Amino acid sequence: MQTINPTTDEPIETYDEHDDEALERFVQRSADRFESWSERPITERQALVGGIADVLCENEDDYAALMTREMGKPIEQARAEIEKCSWVCEFYAEHAAQFLQDERIGVHPRAKTKVSYEPLGPLLAVMPWNYPFWQVLRVAAPTLAAGNTVLLSHARNVTGCATTIERVLADAGFPDGAFTTILVDDDSLHDVIADDRVAAATLTGSVRAGRAVAETTGANLKPTVLELGGSDPFVVLDDAPLERACEVGAQARVNNNGQACIAAKRFIVVEDVYEEFRDGFVREMESLTVGDPTDPDTDVGPIARADLLDTLETQVTESLDAGATALTGGERINREGYFFEPTVLEDVPADSPAGCDELFGPVASLFVVEDEDEAIALANDTEFGLGASVWTTDLERGERVAHELEAGAAFVNELVQSHPKLPFGGIKNSGYGRELAADGIREFTNKKTVWVSPADGLDE
């Protein structure tokens, strides 16, 4: 496994994959650790999760620089990611016991009936490169607090982040085997999923990867959470606050170099305000600074890998050949590293890549519609259903439209984002299950019904 700096196209580090013997040792250690870890008082587990936040805060600059070096995230956004990771750890350190406390349910006056939330065992977490710390810790913090252990299989191009996260938890005081990074290929990964000692799996990644994991977990009857791709609509109605919509829209499209599942990708604008929005949005995209992600003034850094840049370029070229027009950008940048111009496409054919596929990079697709009804119909005309936003000065109207948008999350006058206090996940080909909030910590627990009757039975 070799990591490459996407800004310079130069190698960073080479890592050896774990062989079968090492993998067997790690899985067994995780299973053994679960026995003692799940029996520890939840207050102790919470305290250790809170300790992760302390380690992250102490080393924020180092971890942010590592992310920027391995996947090209602008340094200020990398720092913000570490801060958000600290936040989610602090959140579960404070609330895990509350979320997992027994729920008393009255059924009979002489019976004690309740629902308890009990850990399942080792969890396999298959995580992507685009938010290399956040994606891991938003899963690990609640899962560990709940009493499960975690096996992490991270994306190859952020292997340095993967091994560093393991050290973070060790520095926070977690025992060996509570959290383990495994460096394996896809074949070995599916063997781990099928292993009887592994209780469940979660994946954030592509639809293809999600189907593969779901096939294996389904065959082995194991619970799964999948957070997959997105083609989020950004719906601009005829009474939208246009100046702010243009500004936030550009941010929503290019944050993390445009490589986010919940990034706004399809900008659906009612024709009465289309020209004004289009012109303002293009100005915002053209004002972005593209360059070295270690420079705090950079807005957009490189695409994370050479193959991903090739894919994005092909998608844009095919969309242009099909009839789309580039209002700005449209090409890779002729410089060292994997850079693509911030791009705005208009007249996008519905069956072109920019019309129906997920473009993972700073490329926005504009669509003009006649009215609100057509906007909603187009927003929902996609295989994905992760996030959506609608822009209007009429808040009642915005809330009503939000309910009509087919997505796991709908925002009014705000970019789509994840928040520790709110459940996060998608529908349709964007996956199933939820992370974060109370829903997230309960996903990988046994929701057990416990009924206690007196020895002499219940009165009729």
Per-residue pLDDT of the chain (460 residues; tens, 9 = 90+): 999 999 999 999 999 999 999 999 999 999 999 999 999 999 999 999 999 999 999 999 999 999 999 999 999 999 999 999 999 999 999 999 999 999 999 999 999 999 999 999 999 999 999 999 999 999 999 999 999 999 999 999 999 999 999 999 999 999 999 999 999 998 899 999 999 999 999 999 999 999 999 999 999 999 999 999 999 999 999 999 999 999 999 999 999 999 999 999 999 999 999 999 999 999 999 999 999 999 999 999 999 999 999 999 999 999 999 999 999 999 999 999 999 999 999 999 999 999 999 999 999 999 999 999 999 999 999 999 999 999 999 999 999 999 999 999 999 999 999 999 999 999 999 999 999 999 999 999 999 999 999 999 997 6
Q: Is 60 noted as a catalytic residue in this protein?
A: no
Q: How far apart are CA 90 and CA 93, in angstroms?
A: 5
Catalytic one among 89, 161, 246, 261?
A: 261
For residue 335, give the DSSP letter: S
Which of 60, 90, 166, 227 does the annotation list as catalytic?
227
pTM of the predicted structure, to 2 decimals: 0.97
Calculate the CA dihedral of residues 280, 286, 290, 296 and round it to 10 degrees.
-50
Collapsed DSSP state (helix, strand, coil) of residue 432: strand
- Nearest in space to 284 (alpha carbons), one of 329, 314, 316, 317: 329
- Eight-state DSSP code of residue 325: E
CA gap 451, 447 in Å, rounded: 13
Q: What is the 3-state secondary structure (H, E, C) of 356-378?
A: HCCCCCCEEEEEEECCHHHHHHH
What residue type is 40 in one-letter code? R
Structure tokens, 317: 């070229």
DSSP state of 178: S
> Which residues have a Cβ under 8 Å from the Cβ of 318 and sit 6 or more positions away?
352, 353
Between helix 159-171 and helix 42-58 the angle, nearest 10°, is: 120
Taking Cα atoms as reference points, which of 137, 191, 51, 103 lies closest to residue 445?
103
Find out whether 412 and 398 touch, Cβ atoms under 8 Å: yes
Token reading at 274: 């289309």
Q: Which domains does the chain show, CATH number per domain?
A: 2-228+426-451 (3.40.605.10), 232-412 (3.40.309.10)
* Measured distance CA(454)–CA(108) in Å, rounded: 11
The continuous run of DSSP H or E covering 2 comes out as strand 2-5
Identify which of 234, 243, 205, 210 has the alpha carbon closest to the alpha carbon of residue 224.
Answer: 210
Query: Is-catalytic flag, 89?
Result: no
CA distance 357 to 331: 18
Residue with tokens 């006649």: 370
Rounded Cα gap, residues 5 and 73, in angstroms? 11
